[in-house]
Amino acid sequence: DAGVIQSPRHEVTEMGQEVTLRCKPISGHNSLFWYRQTMMRGLELLIYFNNNVPIDDSGMPEDRFSAKMPNASFSTLKIQPSEPRDSAVYFCASSLKRTYNEQFFGPGTRLTVL
Amino acid sequence: AQSVTQLDSHVSVSEGTPVLLRCNYSSSYSPSLFWYVQHPNKGLQLLLKYTSAATLVKGINGFEAEFKKSETSFHLTKPSAHMSDAAEYFCVVSPVGAGSYQLTFGKGTKLSVIP
């Protein structure tokens, strides 16, 4: 079984550029999560989707961040414009709704904003 | 509100010796508790979970954890460390019920295994 797939695995960009991170959840999972991991703050939940609908986006840092889930098998996290403080590892995770605290994580995207 | 404290940021053991990674939690209700492992440049993998059934929980790769409500602890153990166990381990708490998607992560314990 394929796990959660994320692309790209590494992204280096310059301040002010738009960055789009992509995620394919595990087939059949109807909950999807975006997390950010930094040394200072650890792992933080950015946004949670259920059945493609955003349920909790209280962790999205500011308007520069946006996330979409156009269908059950694809989600994007976009940062526009990017800033150096956005440098982090971004993880996507998915789960079944009935066990949505048992989350399966992708390998992450390491973002560096210069 | 809920929180997790991992008592050691770094633990070093010799191969073949026992592993103990300590975790204390704070929660205003009966929580679900998890341990995740993160190998370098990899995603997080679920090791085991406690959800109010048996207090001693067995996970993958020989790890287990015991839920002790009186001590608000959920320590992770393994009888004999293997080189492949070197990784970072996260203790995680979540509420039960509607908000249970909200995982609160500890800051992590980096486990080193000395040959």
pLDDT of residue A1: 63
As to burial, measured by CB atoms within 10 angstroms (0-12 exposed, 13-18 middle, 19+ buried), residue A95 is buried
Q: How close A100 gets to chain B, by Cα (Å)?
A: 5
pLDDT of residue A20: 98
**Which chain A residues have a beta carbon less than 8 Å from that of B45?**
105
Does the CB of B6 have a partner CB in chain A at under 8 Å? no
Of A3, A31, A105, the CB nearest to B101: A31
Is B50 a residue whose pLDDT tops 80?
Answer: yes
Is A99 a residue whose pLDDT tops 80?
Answer: no
Q: How close A104 gets to chain B, by Cα (Å)?
A: 7
Model confidence pLDDT, tens digit, residues B78-106: 999 999 999 999 999 988 776 778 889 99
Query: In terms of Cα–Cα distance, which of A59, A99, A60 is closest to B97?
Result: A99
A82's tokens: 């990017």
What's the average model confidence in pLDDT over A24-31?
94
B114's tokens: 């000395």
Cβ–Cβ below 8 Å for A4 and B102: no
pLDDT of residue A114: 96
